[in-house]
Structures are given as structure tokens and as C-alpha cells.
Amino acid sequence: MLKGQRAKRLLALLTVFFFIAGSVFTGAANTSKVAYAATIEEFPAVDLNKLTSDVSDKNTKDAVMRLAAFGIVNGMEDGKYHPEEKVTREQFAKLLVTALGMESAAKAGVGHVTFKDVAPNRWSAGYISVAAGQGLIKGYPDGTFRPEKHVTYAEAVTMLVRALGYKDEFLPGKWPGNYLAKAAEAEITKYVKFADASGYATRGDVAILVNNTLDAEVVKVDTYESGNVKYYESEKTLLEDKLDITKYEDVRIIANKRLDDNLDDDEVRVVFLNETDDDKYDEGDKKEFDVVKGYNVEPVIGEEVTIYLNDDDELVYAEREYDDKAMFDFVEGTADNDTKLSLVKFDDDYEFDDDAIVYITDSDGAIKYEGSKNVLDHIKEFVGKPGKYVLKNDKIVFADVIDPTEVDEWMVVTDNEDGVIKGISKTDDEKEIDLRPDETYDGVIILDTEGNVLSVDDIEEGNVVYVAKQEIDGDDYAIVRVVKDNIIKGTLEAVKTNKIRIGDEEIKLTQYSGEIVACYSVDNGDTIEEYDLNDSDVASDMEDADGADVIAYTDAGGRIAYFVTEAKAVSGYRYGIVTKIYEESEKLKIYTLTGNGEGDEIVYPVEETRNLSYGIPLNEYGHKDGSHPTAPIKVGSIVKFKLNKNGEIAEDEIYVMPEDKYWGVEDEDLTEDTIPDATLNSNSNVVASFVVDDDTVIIDAKEYDPDIVFAENTSYNALSEVPKYSDSNETIDVDDDFEVIKWADLAEDDNFSGKFYVFCDDDNNVEAEAIIFIREGTDKAAQDEEAAYIVDKWYKGGDLYVEYITYGGSVEEAKADSKAEDIINKRGKERPYIVKIKADGDLKVVDPKEADDFKIYFGTITTKSGSDVTAVVYQVYQEDDTNLVINYVGEKQFKLENKAVVYEEDEKKSTSNIHAGDCVVFITEKGGVNIKVIERLVDEEADKVRRYEYPYGN
């Protein structure tokens, strides 16, 4: 509502506009009254999906779709509607004439135009002639029509009100205010907002205006003998009066020929959900209607709609009412003792309505289950299958389910050779299905997940297809549902047992009944494998794929059915440790920095055979110490190398660091950017300091000792194993013991001790390009203990990562070291732990017996008052890998402040959720009573505590 000065300004504007634009509608009036009723026999040849692809507003889209169904609007040259475009006077004339069902009159009116600027052969001539003849649109005083001039909102509204039968003399007041007021009263301007009536109307707004006008009631005129004219609003809408279309609301379309082959090809069955206004149909009545040729009801099958029938009782259009929710979805299981279906995209469990209708494809036809009792007898048949589900009041009222037996659950399309579709399924990486007519099948019906009809040629590489075989009228049909716009690209950042992370988005994999049914490839599709992270080969593949570019293909539920990666090499110098030599294939495996900033073993071919055995020697600063490859390359050699464009170690571009040229510092204070006063292999006569920053490649090769690796009496296979420095009878597990770290994790550390190799900039002996720490690595860097609750875990590049929360609520992520991985996998996530973040960024789980700052208790809360807690508790220590020591402590008093981390399994709680009688595990400061992290135990774990047992097992 406009008030005060704004209202006065608008009134002044409209008044001025009346004098300027009023002349547009002056001129000789043609009072002939001609109306031609439309009989829609065919649906207009319009691709509704394409037509509305650039329409985002819901009201505009609904209007465009309905008007297109009635043949009133269509797309521009590219098939799209372009709602932002302005409408010309001649375009609006066509809209008016078509909306009034007078297209045939427009054809007859060609050549009878009286406006001097409208040629008889102009495309719009007939429409302008009829519109002007009906008094809907008028010319200018100079005898022109100006067909290409844009229509204002005031003009558009005026013409639409006139289309209802109103005349200037029926509406008191000044133009355009009188027409705008009547339009608002008749709800013609509903959903349309325009601040300036003189502004030009857009195609989007015009669609809504015309669509609203169709539902407005027309005006009838009575003429009396005295010459008086009286008008009244009839009970008929423009839709009924001019287009002879009957409208029925609250109808559900429940079958077509595909679902019930007792129906004709052009026939549908509907159920009326309420008694109709004309008393023709009662609630629950089922009725078959013919459908006008070319109209596709598939997009709204099963949904609550308003149907429109022409004068032959044929269904012309079905318009969504949005009183229910409909979606093509995937069933991953059942719930509540097989009384509900678990839907993926609807993201919940749903029961069936008492009157539910469900179809499932079958080679003998579409099987129909009606009524919840009948459906529940067959509920497990829907698990693992996609289909359209319609929900009303959070219950399934309709489902159209496809059983994709022809493609082994799903297929990702890799090629379409003129209808022979090739692809990858769960059980076959060279799946092929022939969808050419009259080849494998007598007929083919192809729909996308929205219900749009597709041709075989519309199936594209990357689409996921579900194909079922179904008998219709005795013929075998392929029923195909196609998932389009389903490709996700990015970097593979993390993997879990049931999901992967691409970039910042975590996406679940296709699964049902608790089983993963997804596939992957780490060699660009050459080899396809089933995804099972518990399989060591799969875990190894995921490690190789970490950080690689990934293309993923999602299924009907938006989950990933298949993903493919191809690791890419990074450019520039690389630094690392040779971990294996492949003499026959002429390759070296080197632990090095990968393109995503992580460390990994990568196999590189050598361009020249001699570089398999010899590299160019380096000095203690990592500079060339010769020009020929004379330094032997062995397992354990510290190397610097470059790749050629083919990803091979380039000719004579591998350099070998002498094993005795390592540096060391003892109890030194590292600065923000320097490792100071390092000595060369404990030789105090050679001292140097090195500048380091976060661009420096730092490899933490703990457990590596060159004195053992290259000892003359080593018993290890010189081509395949690296001895472990702490025990000459063991070899290094490179994946667990080698890490890539950032300088920020070490900078400004006090009393640091360590040994390392350094590779300086080629121009000096100071700027470190790369550093490789050896022996104890960086383990002597300062580490602070924290009390933490681990809430989630996942794998990335073969390494376990965790998300944890510390006192005060800080949420962090870190990679678990190998020992922490063993403990967490054994004890589980959703547990309190004492942890350290090491200098290499890894998370370490600290045995409470060795903890400096914290203690772990378990027991039962006896009393709680505010933040004061009393509990009977035990302490637990890990004696060795398999044995626990439990010590009874007795009843103690503690403080539980609001900053404490409180959890019950994976659900975050507050301190107020802890009560007397609760069984708990918690962490306090050593020598203190403040509880930092506490878990409230439930079910079996709580029962264990009541039996005085440690709740998490050994």
C-alpha cells in the first residue's frame, strides 16, 4: 500500500501518463463482435523443458507452461522464452487474439488492416486486424499502429481488461488508473510487480498477466430498449467462454499406457480427490480421458494437478498444484520393521498412505500394488531401485518404480553409437545395450528423471541410465530413465567407507541395504574396480588417487555411482628418497612431494637407462658436484630430479646426495625463518645456518638412518627394502613413517634437535629449497597435549584423518599417525582421547600412563549440583598392544564447567545433559579436577561400566 507523498507522486504520474498515452487508444472504433471458439486437437509442438530453461521464477514458469499448452505463447528462435525481453504492440496483439481463440479469424483478417504502417503481408497483420476490430487495441491519431513499439504495463493491462468485455464507459475514472484498479480487482496483476505503469512490460510479466486473465470472469452486456447499456460479470472465465476449456482442480493422474496397457496410447486415468464444482464427479471417482495429440503427461504422473479439458473432453494440459512433493529418487533400504521406505533425496523414512498406488516395472508389465497393506507385502522389492515418489502429508501416495535388470542396477554411458549404448555397470565395465528400434526390443520408451520424453540420440556420455524390460500389449519394451546433468569435477580430497570428498563437497556413494554398489578407476577408465575401502588394493588405489583430478557421475539419488581419476605430474625440481628399483621395467619408485602437497611413493620411468643406476653427485648443500652420472643410485638414496614432458626422469637430471653429507642441530632455538648453527655430520668445524619458509619442501623421514641403510653388511635386498634405523632387522614402512610437513609446524620451536639433508638454491648455500629430516625426524619438536573428542574419521590418500573438538569447542582436523590410526580404528571414533599434534602435523594418541598433562577416568556420576560433580571412577592404562590395566580410584569430586566438551556418541550435548547415575568417560588435567572432555555412555558401553569394565574393550 502506498501512503503520503509516494501515493501523490504516483497519482500525478498516472495523470500525466493519461494525457500522453490516452491518444494511443483513440481513433475510429470497430464495434463488430466476432468470437471464434478454439478446439485444441493437438498439443503445440513446443519443447516445454527448453522453453522454460531460462525461466527461474516459479509463477512465470507456471504461466509460460500453461499458455504454451494452449498455444498462446512459444519460444524465440532458440526455443527459449526469454522472460526479460520487452513485448511489442504487434506481439501483444497476437497474444490477445490467440488467448481469445480467434486465430482462424486472424488468418482471415490478413489484408484488411486499415493502419498505414502495417503492410497487408506483415506477419502480424491478421492479429492486428482482429484485435483492433474487437476494440481491444487502437491506433494513433495519425493513422499508424506502430507495431514495433514496446507495450507499457498500463497498455497491456488495459487490453487484457478489454478482452474480458469491459469498455471505457463501464469504468469510471481516468485512464489508466481505472483499468489498473479493475485489473487488480480481477487479480490480473497478481504476482506482477511494476513500480511504473508507463514502464515497458517484459515477456515474463506479460505471461503472468495473460495467464491470470484466462481465469478472470468475462463481462456480459444487456441492452435495453431505451438505449441504456448494462454489463454484468458472468460466472464463466475467459478460459471457458472463449477457449471452451473446462478446468477441474484436485485431480491425480494415476496411469497412462506405460503403466497400464489396458489404456489406449493417448489415454490416461485420473482420480478426483474432491467433488467437482459442477457436481459432475465425486470424490474418489476414477475416469479415463483421451489426451490431445503430442501432450506428455509423464512429468506430472502421480501428482496432484488441475486438468484442462477441451470441448471434446480431451485432456489438454495438467498443471501442478504443488500440494504434494514429487521427486525421482532412490530407495536405499527399509525402516521400522519394513513399514517404511528410506529415500535418498527426500532424506528420510516414509510410510505409505492407506490409498497409495505403486507401480514397479516387470518383464510381464507394470505391476500395480494398491493400498498400504498390499504395498507392504512387497516393500523389499523396491530396495535398490530408482523411481518417482509422490508424498502428501509426509506419506507416499504414489510411486512409479523401475527395476533396472537390463543394466545390472545402473550404467554410466561411455558411448552412444547410433543407439547402441555402451557403458560401465556395477558388474560389467564393457556393458552394451541395443536401444535401436526393432532390434533387441520391439519398442523403446526413454524419459529423463523429470519425465521429459527423449530420443535415443539424446542419451549422452556421462549420463546414468536405468533400463528395465517391460511387456506392453504383448511386445517387449525397453523402459529407460536417464539421469542428466550429473557430472561433478574437482580434486579428490578425502575418502571414507561410504563417501568421498571432491573439493569442499562430501558426497555419498551409491549404496543400498548397507552395501556400496559404486565403482571407480584410477587409470582414466582402463581398469574399473568395485569400491570397498576395507579391501587393501582399493585403499592403495585411493592413496594413489589422492589429490588427483576426479570426474564423478551421480545416480538418481544424487550419489556417486562411478568416479575416475588420472594422477598428473607436477613440474620443477623434486626431492625425495628412492624406495624401490625396477630394473626390468627401468623405473624408480621415489617417496616425494605430490602435486596436492602431500607425500607419496611414485613410480617414475627413466629416460636413460644409465640413470637407473647412476646420478650426478651433489655436495652437502645440494649443489652439483660433477657433470657426469657417477654417483650410484640405491634403495635409500636421497635424490633431486626433474621430469621430461612425458613424465619420465629426464636424461641426466637425477642427482644423488652423498649419504654422509647430513647436518644436525642439538637443542637449538629455531627462529621464524632459520635453522641456526647446524654442523655437518657432527663436525663442529663446518657450521651453517639455513633460511627456511613454507615454500621449502620438508620431508620428515623418521626411522631413516643412512649409516644403517648403506652399511656394507646389510642383509636387505638392495633393490626393494629400506632398513629401519632403530632395528636393523626391520624395514621402514614408508607410508607410515615418512611425512611431508610445513615449516610453520617447526618455526620458533625451542630446544629443537634433529638431523637433516639440505638442498639449497643453486646460487647460494643459505636458502633451503628442500630439507629431509632423518633418524628421529622432527619427533623432538615441542608438542602440547590436548584433551579431545574425536567425532569423525575418513581416509585421504591412504591415511586416516580425524575431526576432533577440544576444550572450549574448537573444531580441528588432522592426519593420524600410524599408531594413532591403529588405536582409533580399534577403539573407534566418538571417543575422548589425549592427543598431541606433532611437528609434522600428525595427530598422536597419548597413552594416559605416559601423559604429562591429563588423566582419563571412567565410572558413574553419583551426584551433580551445578558445575560440581562427584563420581566413582577408575583409571585405565595401556600396558602393551593387547593388555589394559584398570585401577580403582574411588569416589572423587570434579568440576564440569560450560566450556567442557560434552558428547553422547556423535551427538553434541551441554553440561546440563549430565546427570547423577550416568555412566561416563572423561578427561581431566593431571593434578586438577576440571573435566575437559566427557562422554555420556549409553546401551552396551554403559552396561560395561556398571559391571566395572572398561567400556571401549581392549
What is the distance between the alpha carbons of residues 155 and 144, in angstroms, rounded to a whole number?
16
Beta-strand relationship, 738-741 and 727-731: unpaired
Residue (of 590, 585, 654, 642) closest to 618 by Cα position: 654
| Predicted confidence (pLDDT) per residue in 319-334, tens digit | 999 999 999 999 999 9
Sign of CA dihedral 193, 198, 203, 206: positive
Q: What pLDDT does residue 782 have? A: 57
- pLDDT category at 771 given cuts 50, 70, 90 is very high
Helix, strand, coil % in the chain, rounded to nearest 5: 20, 40, 40
Does position 33 have pLDDT exceeding 60, yes or no?
no
> Cβ distance 465 to 424 under 8 Å?
no
Find all residues with CB under 8 Å of 392, minimum gap 6, and list them: 304, 323, 324, 325, 353
Sign of CA dihedral 506, 511, 514, 520: negative
What is the distance between the alpha carbons of residues 381 and 569, in angstroms, rounded to a whole number?
47
Q: What pLDDT does residue 571 have? A: 46
What is the distance between the alpha carbons of residues 114 and 130, in angstroms, rounded to a whole number?
11
Largest CA distance in the chain: 129
Q: What pLDDT does residue 413 have? A: 96
Q: What pLDDT does residue 20 have? A: 23
What is the distance between the alpha carbons of residues 283 and 279, in angstroms, rounded to a whole number?
10
Span 573-578, mean pLDDT?
A: 93
User: Which of 126-140, 284-298, 499-513, 773-787 bottoms out in mean pLDDT, i.e. has the lowest?
Assistant: 773-787
Q: What pLDDT does residue 80 have? A: 93
User: Which of 16-30, 89-103, 289-303, 726-740 bottoms out in mean pLDDT, i.e. has the lowest?
Assistant: 16-30
Does position 763 have pLDDT exceeding 90, yes or no?
no
> Cβ distance 752 to 670 under 8 Å?
yes
User: Would you state the cell numbers that stand for residue 742, as one nine-digit string?
Assistant: 610445513
Find all residues with CB under 8 Å of 320, minimum gap 6, and list them: 62, 300, 303, 304, 305
What is the distance between the alpha carbons of residues 158 and 177, in angstroms, rounded to a whole number?
10
Q: What pLDDT does residue 37 have? A: 33
827 secondary structure, DSSP code: H
> Cβ distance 376 to 392 under 8 Å?
no
- pLDDT category at 780 given cuts 50, 70, 90 is low
User: According to the 3-state scheme, what is the secondary structure of 415-477?
Assistant: EEECCEEEEEECCCCCEEEECCECCCECEEEEEECCCCECCHHHCCCCCEEEEEEEEECCEEE
> Cβ distance 679 to 663 under 8 Å?
yes
DSSP of 29-56: -------------B--S--HHHHTTT--
DSSP of 771-836: EEEETTTTTTS---EEEEEEEEEEEETTEEEEEEEETTTEEEEEEE-HHHHHHHHHH-SSEEEEEE
Q: What pLDDT does residue 569 have? A: 37
User: Would you state the cell numbers that stand for residue 883, as one nine-digit string?
Assistant: 593388555
Q: What pLDDT does residue 906 have? A: 86
- Strand ranges for 336-394 from DSSP E: 340-343, 348-362, 365-370, 386-392
Q: Where are the alpha helices (DSSP H) in 864-938?
A: none
Q: What pLDDT does residue 60 have? A: 95
| Predicted confidence (pLDDT) per residue in 180-229, tens digit | 999 999 999 999 988 899 999 999 999 999 999 999 999 888 766 666 77
Cis omega (within 30 of 0) for bond into 848: no
Averaged pLDDT of the chain: 87
Does position 150 have pLDDT exceeding 90, yes or no?
yes
Find all residues with CB under 8 Å of 645, minimum gap 6, and list them: none
Q: What pLDDT does residue 916 have? A: 94
CA dihedral 427, 428, 429, 430 (to 10 degrees): -170
Q: What pLDDT does residue 457 have? A: 94
Percent of the chain residues topping a pLDDT of 70: 91
What is the distance between the alpha carbons of residues 804 and 811, in angstroms, rounded to a whole number?
6
What is the distance between the alpha carbons of residues 533 and 420, in angstroms, rounded to a whole number?
33
In the sheet that 267-272 helps form, which strands lie side by side, from edge to edge?
286-290, 267-272, 246-255, 304-309, 315-320
- pLDDT category at 29 given cuts 50, 70, 90 is very low
Q: Return the exposure string of 526-554: e unless at least 16 CB atoms fall within 10 Å of the residue's CB, then b.
A: eebeebebeeeebeebbbbbbbbbbbbbb
Q: What pLDDT does residue 542 have? A: 87
Span 475-480, mean pLDDT?
A: 95
Percent of the chain residues topping a pLDDT of 90: 60
Most confident of 37-41, 637-641, 895-899: 637-641
Sign of CA dihedral 688, 694, 695, 696: positive
What is the distance between the alpha carbons of residues 60 and 204, in angstroms, rounded to a whole number?
6
Q: What pLDDT does residue 26 have? A: 27
Residue (of 166, 210, 95, 221) closest to 176 by Cα position: 166
DSSP-based three-state secondary structure for 497: coil
- pLDDT category at 157 given cuts 50, 70, 90 is very high
334 secondary structure, DSSP code: E
Does position 802 have pLDDT exceeding 80, yes or no?
yes
- pLDDT category at 14 given cuts 50, 70, 90 is very low
- pLDDT category at 266 given cuts 50, 70, 90 is very high
DSSP-based three-state secondary structure for 50: helix
Can you count the helices (H) and strands (E) in the chain? 16, 56
| Predicted confidence (pLDDT) per residue in 872-918, tens digit | 999 887 666 567 788 899 999 999 988 899 999 888 999 999 999 99
List, in sequence order, every residue forming a beta bridge with 802; answer none if it has no partner.
793, 814
Backbone angles phi, psi at 210, to 5 degrees: -65, -40
**Residue 412 CA: distances (Å) to CA of 379, 466, 486:** 27, 9, 10
Residue (of 320, 158, 325, 310) closest to 243 by Cα position: 310
What is the distance between the alpha carbons of residues 879 and 782, in angstroms, rounded to a whole number?
25
Q: What pLDDT does residue 256 have? A: 96
Tracing cell 612431494 back to the chain, one arrives at: 593
| Predicted confidence (pLDDT) per residue in 361-374, tens digit | 988 889 999 999 99
- pLDDT category at 540 given cuts 50, 70, 90 is confident
Does position 248 have pLDDT exceeding 70, yes or no?
yes
> Cβ distance 656 to 618 under 8 Å?
yes
Beta-strand relationship, 649-657 and 614-617: parallel
Distance of CA 583 to the CA centre of its chain: 46
Higher pLDDT, 728 or 92: 92
| Predicted confidence (pLDDT) per residue in 52-92, tens digit | 999 999 999 999 999 988 888 888 889 999 999 999 999 99
User: Would you state the cell numbers that stand for residue 336, as one nine-digit string?
Assistant: 521400522
User: Which of 311-315, 637-641, 738-742 bottoms out in mean pLDDT, i.e. has the lowest?
Assistant: 738-742
User: Would you state the cell numbers that stand for residue 547, as one nine-digit string?
Assistant: 589429490
List, in sequence order, every residue forming a beta bridge with 472; answer none if it has no partner.
475
E strand or H helix that includes residue 374: helix 372-376
How many degrees, rounded to 5, is the angle at CA 794 between CA 954 and CA 594?
A: 125
Give the count of beta carbons closer than 10 Å to the beta carbon of residue 119.
13
What is the distance between the alpha carbons of residues 37 and 99, in angstroms, rounded to a whole number?
10
> Cβ distance 598 to 545 under 8 Å?
no
Q: What pLDDT does residue 645 have? A: 65
What is the distance between the alpha carbons of residues 885 and 44, in angstroms, rounded to a whole number?
81
What is the distance between the alpha carbons of residues 547 and 680, in angstroms, rounded to a whole number?
36
Considering only CA atoms, give the Rg of the chain. 39
Span 756-770, mean pLDDT?
A: 93
Q: What pLDDT does residue 137 have? A: 87
